[in-house]
Amino acid sequence: MGTSWWLWALVAVCTGDQFRDEAERIMRGTPVIDGHNDLPWRLLTMFNNQLQSERANLTSLANTHTNIPKLRAGFVGGQFWSAYTPCDTQNKDAVKRTLEQIDVIQRMCQMYPETFVCVTNSAGIRQAFREGRVASLVGVEGGHSIDSSLGVLRTLHRLGMRYLTLTHSCNTPWADNWLVDTGEDKAESQGLSRFGESVVKEMNRLGVIIDLAHVSVATMKAALRLSTAPVIFSHSSAYSLCQHRRNVPDDVLRLVNQTGSLVMVNFYNDYVSCRQEATLSQVADHLDHIKKVAGAGAVGFGGDFDGVSRLPVGLEDVSKYPDLVAELLRRRWTEAEVRGALANNLLRVFEAVEQVSDHTQSPEEEPIPADQLQASCRTMYGYSEAPSLHRQPGALLASLTTVLLGLGLL
């Protein structure tokens, strides 16, 4: 009996090694593109963005989920780095803070050119794969970063932004966030306002990927129906497995399938198990569920490393991706399905976004109505004289009264 137990244990170990070896073989040809990593935010909070500090050296950086050796061990070949600024910067210095975080990402590429290469298109990602470098892209996390300005949106695109998360955990004046679905925030746009629709259309025109992580269900559905290109959830999981409002419900997953969109699964314990503890196997459960409901082409990885405080056992940092891939292989995912989740699904979405973009088309121009902006920390140049802008009801009534008085009708 003891010998039999020993033989089965040996078989299990050998089988585990087989799946891990197979994972590494696949990832050498198709490294992972992760949808969301908050290392730039950690560089701000730990070093005030002073990358030349000895302690900020990314080859030996400690107390983070991410550094260069861990990225190499995890076969990370593409990364959307988060240019994140918190909600308390809204209507204050959000644009400045966002620019500083984009600068950090670009300086990472400049300081470590043997590891990182900043790219802005799908072809750049494929080239980085061939060179063995990490394709580094800018994802701006939160619509408050554009300060309700189409001009700022276009400028961030010119600076390299290739996805914009429509909200963070706060409403913008034009889109509702996930806390609306918990009752903690009040719905203000019922998904997307008229200006929010203009933001989505302009992102399509520019070739900026629409990211629906953090938004309300109404915003998810409105964007999925309006966008002419596929969208992503850069770091969200499946609501059916963990009833957290940051996750994606099944009816939305079916829209994801219909639109060729993508859900990049978040590893944060609270979104994986709805508890403080979680496991790698539970993350694989989310990947399985999304594959079942939305299709194998709708699955990706969006670990949220360095943006969360709790991670599953077995996925403690970015070096652990091969173990997750080995688990998918153990669950009989095909090699094509695994390569899709690693990179090919994101590349397909990105290429579709690029095909939809049309820089010869006239840009969206109409500003957000002045009465939808908080004016305490802003000037209002342009609003008083510009033609055909939405005016506040009181101003319209005063203007109408003046006209009627002039005509002797009052």
Q: Which helix (H) or strand (E) holds 233?
A: strand 232-233
What is each CA distance from 366 to 31, 143, 156, 237, 297, in whole angstroms? 42, 17, 18, 35, 36
What is each CA distance from 402 to 152, 272, 387, 407, in whole angstroms? 37, 61, 19, 9
The total domain count for the chain is 1
In a domain, 265, yes or no: yes
In a domain, 225, yes or no: yes
In this prediction, residue 1 carries a pLDDT of 46
Stretch 85-106: mean pLDDT: 97
The alpha carbons of the chain give a radius of gyration, in whole angstroms, of 23
Q: What is the pTM of this model?
A: 0.91
* Residues classed as catalytic: 36, 38, 141, 168, 214, 235, 304
Q: What percent of the chain has pLDDT over 70?
A: 90
In a domain, 19, yes or no: no
Torsion-angle region of 33 (φ positive above 0: left; ψ -120 to 50: alpha; else: beta): beta
Q: Which helix (H) or strand (E) holds 34?
A: strand 32-37
In this prediction, residue 390 carries a pLDDT of 46
Stretch 32-49: mean pLDDT: 98
Examine the pLDDT at 32 and tell me if it is beyond 70: yes
One-character DSSP codes across 297-356: GGEEE---BTS-S---BT-SSGGGHHHHHHHHHHTT--HHHHHIIIIIHHHHHHHHHHHH
Q: Which two tokens stand for residue 112?
A: 């470590």
C-alpha to C-alpha distance for 341 and 286, rounded to whole angstroms: 12
Stretch 307-329: mean pLDDT: 98
In this prediction, residue 15 carries a pLDDT of 57
| Structural domain range at position 320 | 32-358
Examine the pLDDT at 90 and tell me if it is beyond 60: yes
Closest CA to 332 of 280, 297, 298, 287: 287
Residue whose entry in the numeric block shows the structure tokens 């992972």? 32
Examine the pLDDT at 397 and tell me if it is beyond 90: no
- Let me know how many helices (H) and strands (E) the chain has, helices first: 16, 9
Look up the CATH number of the domain holding residue 115. Answer: 3.20.20.140
C-alpha to C-alpha distance for 81 and 63, rounded to whole angstroms: 18
Stretch 272-283: mean pLDDT: 98
In a domain, 380, yes or no: no
Q: Which two tokens stand for residue 345?
A: 């699904």
In a domain, 18, yes or no: no
Stretch 39-46: mean pLDDT: 98
Q: Which helix (H) or strand (E) holds 288?
A: helix 280-294
Examine the pLDDT at 353 and tell me if it is beyond 50: yes
Does 41 or 406 have the greater pLDDT score?
Answer: 41
| Residues 6 or more apart in contact with residue 142 via CB below 8 angstroms | 84, 85, 87, 94, 165, 167, 168, 170, 172, 214
Stretch 286-313: mean pLDDT: 98
Closest CA to 79 of 36, 124, 30, 142: 36
C-alpha to C-alpha distance for 189 and 266, rounded to whole angstroms: 26
C-alpha to C-alpha distance for 1 and 249, rounded to whole angstroms: 48
* Residue 26 contacts residue 324 (beta carbons within 8 Å): no
What is each CA distance from 203 to 32, 130, 166, 188, in whole angstroms? 25, 29, 11, 22
* Structure confidence at residue 387 as a pLDDT band (50, 70, 90): low
Examine the pLDDT at 388 and tell me if it is beyond 60: no
In a domain, 395, yes or no: no
* Residue 221 contacts residue 249 (beta carbons within 8 Å): no
Residue whose entry in the numeric block shows the structure tokens 């590494």? 24
Examine the pLDDT at 407 and tell me if it is beyond 70: no
Examine the pLDDT at 391 and tell me if it is beyond 80: no
Q: Which helix (H) or strand (E) holds 210?
A: strand 209-211
In a domain, 399, yes or no: no
Does 2 or 54 have the greater pLDDT score?
Answer: 54
In a domain, 372, yes or no: no
Examine the pLDDT at 389 and tell me if it is beyond 60: no
Average pLDDT of the chain, as a whole number: 92
Examine the pLDDT at 268 and tell me if it is beyond 80: yes
Over residues 157-205, the pLDDT tens digits come to 999 999 999 999 999 999 999 999 999 999 999 999 999 999 999 999 9
